[in-house]
Structure 1
Amino acid sequence: MFPIQRPRRLRSHPQLRRMVSETVLNTSDLIYPLFAVPGEGMATEVRSMPGVYQLSIDKIVEEAKEVYDLGIPAIILFGIPADKDTDATGAWHDHGIVQLAATAVKEAVPDLIVIVDTCLCEYTSHGHCGYLEVGDLTGRVLNDPTLELLKKTAVSQAKAGADIIAPSGMMDGFVKAIREGLDEGGFQDIPILSYAAKYASAYYGPFRDAAESSPQFGDRRTYQMDPGNRREALKEIELDIAEGADMLMVKPALSYMDIIWQVKQASNLPVAAYNVSGEYAMIKAAALNGWIDEQRVVLETLTSFKRAGADLILTYHAKDAARWLASGS
């Protein structure tokens, strides 16, 4: 007790503070999301996400090189196809936008890990993550038929050179279906990063601008989780582990750090946290208005995800964070 115990002793010098730091954020913790679009020389800034762009494949390759040079180990690719239909053809076609982007990046930067988002909402004309009943206007996705689409999509992405498959549609049994598809296709060594606990969150708004994936009607609450549910997240991760997931993701991150912590405690698998578009947009908006110190807030936020238990952090701040960490400031 005071005066014998004085915790401030270990805070007295910057070097000492670093020596006893319990949680250290590293560039190797980061994954950078990229949005691929058709065309050439295209770089269109997302209105609600300053500093984030829809990029043609040549520009994606340029970004991938920069990301690798910054020491960031991985990107995750999302695609916006030229055409959309009810069969999500652009998701699983061998010449789909994500497939082409994955191949181009692996040819240009072979040591960069390419994760691919394995979902259908960007590719369906109605904006939902799978097949719907004819005439359905509620957004209730048909689970089992959608699994076949996801299996086809994952296999085509693996053929294109993807290093990690990341299914995000929250269909029941999607990890099992994708694992079977990959194994049958000869891709036994491709890991699955499952969006195991993905909530029906209001924080996704800007992403839907970036990925052009807003539902045309209804919402995604019949397949994404209720924000109030904690035990359900643990049930979902147990199922995904049993089905063959190699890594687990919690999405969003900022309002779900209790879930990140509990998933970490309940599993011996690597845990990823997705620092989603709305979280990014709030920080950028406040920074652009001069209300916060962007660098300090970003690094504090990312560190908090790691403190909560995240091994990997998907974030649109990744490039800036890597530069700040390298500068030691």
Structure 2
Amino acid sequence: MAFPLIRNRRLRTSAAMRRLVRENDVTLNDLIYPIFVTHGENIKEEIPSMPGVYHFSLDRLQEEITEVSALGLPAVLLFGVPHEKDAHGSSAYDPNGIVQQATRLIKTWDSELLVIADTCLCQFTDHGHCGVVHYDEAKQRADVVNDASLELLARTAVSQAEAGADIIAPSNMMDGFVHAIRQGLDEAGYEHVPILSYSVKYASSFYGPFRDAAHSTPQFGDRKTYQMDPANGREALREADADVAEGADMLMVKPALAYMDVIRMLRDRYDLPICAYNVSAEYSMVKAAAAQGWIDERSIVLETMVGFKRAGADMIITYFAKDIARWIARS
């Protein structure tokens, strides 16, 4: 019989022993911190549904970047909240758009901090969808038009690269978006800029607080015709296969917490870096429970992050990044 010869508890006898044999760990190098930038002056406004997360105007952004740099975080993910919107999201690809301005400023403050630009139209369109909308009179229905949206997404990516973005992160889920953006970047001389593709992005209920933060709730319908059905797993591999073939350098699964099986599927299939997006509701639920004293926030967050790493993620986008950095520094 295996017992008593085999005793698995021998490797759990002390904290030092457990650290010695630990299979997965979370470090600063794993973390990407999302930031919301907006027009205006002297704005640092807490997002009601996301405690501890703020909208920053450009004149207040430096204080946030200084803190991020001091904590040793390697990268930020920029989301823009413009003051004007239109049907084609033109401020997304405006050379002086909010994300482009913020990128240029950040690179002057800390040239080593990686700036990742979210590449989508939903924050910039007056209808809130991630592409061009066409209204079909015959069907009395509005649809998001795929191919016409690709040109605008490519223009957005090029303008972000021109502003100094280190990584382009397209989140729109149009078919062919990686190909269009890769072609646009290469033709503009930015063949060295990598694409972190939101390859597997589900039509999830976990995005609610983000839509509050980004002011991007669709004005009609939903995004289920282009974001994935949460019931599907194998479809994720088809989406990722297409992005790999089109030139993606990194692959993302969003959301992360309810889709760790999908992270593992991608990890087992591809050698590319895998990113997990710990999304807004995953953040807000923990914050709300911690505020009530129902959970130990630090323990829950770190356990969740280790879960993402164990599932196969190489990097994690999380609103907890600053908190985690402080906890690591004190450990």
Task: State TM-score, norm by structure 2.
Answer: 0.97
Q: Which moved more, 1:41-50 or 1:53-62?
A: 53-62
**Residues 116 and 169 of structure 2 are in contact (CA less than 8 Å); yes or no, is this contact kept in structure 1?**
yes
Partner of 1:165: 168
Q: Equivalent residue of 1:133, what SS?
A: strand
Contact 2:136 2:142 (8 Å CA) reproduced: no
C-alpha offsets along residues 220-242 of structure 1, whole Å, 9 cap, x if unaligned? 00000000111110001110000
Distance in structure 1 (CA, Å) of the matches to 2:325 and 2:97 = 30
Letter in 1 for 2:119: T
1:14 shift after superposition: 0.7
Q: Which moved more, 1:178-187 or 1:136-145?
A: 136-145
| Residues in 1 aligned to 2:174 and 2:304: alpha-carbon distance in whole angstroms | 30
Task: Indicate the residue corresponding to 1:213 in structure 2.
Answer: 216
- AA in 2 matched with 1:210: A
**1:305-324 mapped onto 2 (5 Å cutoff):** 305-324=308-327
Q: Residue in 2 aligned with 1:115? A: 116
CA offsets, 1:21-50, max 9 Å, x none? Answer: 000111110000000000222111111100
Corresponding residue of 2:95: 94
| Number of aligned positions between the proteins | 328
For structure 1, the residue ranges without an aligned partner over 5 or more in a row are none
Q: Does 1:277 align with 2:266?
A: no
> Does 2:145 align with 1:142?
yes
Aligned mates of 1:114, 1:59 — CA distance in 2: 17
Tell me the distance in 2 between the aligned counterparts of 1:138 and 1:209: 26
- The runs of at least 4 aligned residues of structure 1 exceeding 2 Å deviation read 58-61, 134-140
Indicate if the aligned counterparts of 1:128 and 1:139 stay in contact, CA closer than 8 A. Answer: no
2:269 equivalent among 266, 270, 274: 266
Give the 3-state SS of the residue equivalent to 1:132 in structure 2. Answer: strand
**DSSP-derived class of the 1:259 partner:** helix
Q: 1:65 is aligned with what amino acid?
A: T
Q: Is the 8 A contact 2:132 2:148 kept in 1?
A: yes
Range with greater deviation from structure 2 (35-44 or 141-150) = 35-44
* Partner in structure 1 of residue 59 of structure 2: 58
Letter in 1 for 2:202: Y
Superposition map of 1:78-93 within 5 A: 78-93=79-94
Return the offset for 1:89: 1.0
Alpha-carbon contact 1:35-1:80 (below 8 Å) kept:
yes
- Give how far 1:87 is off: 1.4
Q: Aligned-pair distance for 1:139?
A: 5.6
Q: Which amino acid in 1 is paired with 2:326?
A: R
What's the RMSD between the two structures over aligned residues?
1.0
Asked if 1 retains the 8 angstrom alpha-carbon contact of 2:135 and 2:142, the reply is no
2:15 equivalent in structure 1? 14
Partners of 1:177 and 1:77 in 2: how far apart? 21
Unaligned 5+ segments in structure 2 are none
Deviation at 1:118, TM superposition (A): 0.1
Q: Distance in 2 between matches of 1:37 and 1:23?
A: 37
Percent identical among aligned pairs is 59
User: Which letter does structure 2 place at the counterpart of 1:42?
Assistant: I
Whole-Å separation in 2 of the counterparts to 1:40 and 1:308: 42
**Partners of 2:194 and 2:303 in 1: how far apart?**
30
